Amino acid sequence: MTEASGNVGIVIVSHSPLVAEGTADMVRQMVGDEVRVAWCGGDPAGGLGTSVEAIMQAIDRAWTDAGVAILVDLGGAETNSEMAVEMIGEPRAGRIAICNAPIVEGAVMAATEASGGAPLSAVVATAQELSPL
C-alpha cells in the first residue's frame, strides 16, 4: 500500500466551512487515508468567504513532496488560492495546482487518482476530466 506521505495531497477551499468540511469527509470516507486532505472555508469573522492565510495553512497541512491539488468553489476561492500559491513561492509553488473542476466531485476524483501514487499532472487531469468543455 502506498504511503500518504508520498501521494499528492488535496486541499479543499470553499466559501462555506460546512461545504469544505463535508467535502473532506466524503474524500476520507470514499477514498480513505492514503491521501492527505485539508480544508478551509469561511472568513475569520465567521461569515462566508475565503482567506489567503487559511488557504496557505491548509496547503501546509496537506503538503507532500508530490505536491498539492487545490479544489475551489467560486470566484474568491480561486483568486485567493492563486494568491496563496504566489505567496508560498518557489520551489513549492511549482508543485501546487488549482483544479478547474467541481469542488465535491473533483475532490473525490482527484483523491482517487492520487491514492494510486499518480503524479500531480495526472491528479489534476482526472479532476478536470469531469468539467464540461
Partner 1 sequence: MTVQQHALITHQVGLHARPSVKFTKLAKTFASRIEIATAEDGPWIDAKSIVKVMAMKVPEGATLFIRADGDDETLAASALAALVARDFDEDAKHAGAA
Catalogue the active-site residues.
Answer: 15
- Which residue of 62, 68, 108, 120 would you call a contact of partner 1, by CB under 8 A? 108
CA neighbor of 129 nearest in space, from 91, 104, 99, 93: 99
DSSP run (H or E) holding 55:
helix 52-62
CA neighbor of 108 nearest in space, from 121, 88, 126: 126
Nearer to partner 1, 17 or 102 (CB): 102
Query: How far apart are the two ends of the chain, measured CA to CA in Å?
Result: 35
Q: How far is the CB of 115 from partner 1 (least distance, A)?
A: 6
- Which residue of 31, 37, 70, 71 would you call a contact of partner 1, by CB under 8 A? 31
Binding site for partner 1 (CB under 8 A): 29-32, 108-109, 112-113, 115-116, 126, 129-130
